[in-house]
Amino acid sequence: MRNPWPAFAACLFMTLLAACAHRSAPATREAARWSNATQLVLVTTPDWNTPAGTLRTFERNGGGWTQIGHATPVTIGRTGAAWGLGLNDVPADGPRKREGDGRSPAGVFAIGTAFGYAAQARTALPYAPMDANDYCIDVPGSTLYNRIVDATEVGAGAVAGSTEPMRRDLHANGDQRYRLGFVIEHNAAARPSAGSCIFAHLWKSPQDATAGCTAMADVEMERILAWLDPGRHPVFVLLPDAEYAKRGVDWQLPARAADKPR
């Protein structure tokens, strides 16, 4: 009788190899764009129009995503969220982010420079201390649109009309919201009127929405900045619950968490 074991073993090996390849390959062309990300900051909201959500942080080391820390409440744009320009293709359905619409950009985004009022901060991200001459340009017609610039370098005329001084404590009655934060890389190509100056920053209060950023308590910002490592290619994801349920698997995002924000 012919020994069936060699054929069976070969078949089993090929099956396991195919299964491993399936697990390691990006599920979609889009997911390949952030497949090297091993840190993820996730914000989910109940729907497109709610100006608040829940933030969770995740990391992965060769396998699936593991939640780090607890869920925490955040505030977002005063009119909710809309599809932004990030690493994913912009879906045909749903609202789209526009300058001045009061919506936070939804999608998957690279995380950029950290910034703040102090000379340095506890973070491995590149850090830029802000002073009274630093502005983020939110004027769509400007050649400096969606860039943080120093007025002493670009000229006072170049920042005229901008509503985003980076030292809000000096320009806006002691406002501490930009005391610590990081850039969310929305509209990196600076497409005119597509939205600018999108940050994660401190909140004024748990009840105060933003003009389009994501805001949180000081302790959470400090925790996230200390955790983020640019060598791990971190990404920031913001999605309404229904969009997360629709796209989470294809985009290889973490399984939906059930823990409640503290």
Tens digits of residue pLDDT in 67-86 = 999 999 999 999 999 999 99
What does the alpha-carbon distance between residue 230 and residue 17 come to, in Å, rounded to a whole number?
32
Summarize the confidence of residues 138-166 as an average pLDDT.
95
What does the alpha-carbon distance between residue 151 and residue 34 come to, in Å, rounded to a whole number?
34
Place of tokens 């933030």: 55
Q: Output the pLDDT for position 257.
A: 63
Query: 7 pLDDT exceeds 80?
Result: no
User: In the chain, what percentage of residues exceed pLDDT 70?
Assistant: 89
Max CA-CA distance within the chain?
Answer: 90
pLDDT in tens, 179-235: 999 999 999 999 999 999 999 999 999 999 999 999 999 999 999 999 999 999 999
What are the extents of the domains in the chain?
36-247
Confidence of residue 258 (pLDDT cuts 50, 70, 90): low
Query: 96 pLDDT exceeds 90?
Result: yes
When mean pLDDT is compared across 2-6, 22-26, 131-135, 152-156, the lowest value belongs to: 22-26
Q: Beta-strand (E) ranges in 27-103?
A: 39-45, 52-59, 66-75, 81-83
Close Cβ partners of 210 (under 8 Å, ≥ 6 residues apart): 51, 75, 76, 77, 78, 104, 201, 203
Query: Quick one: which of 70, 85, 89, 84 has its CA closest to 32?
Result: 89
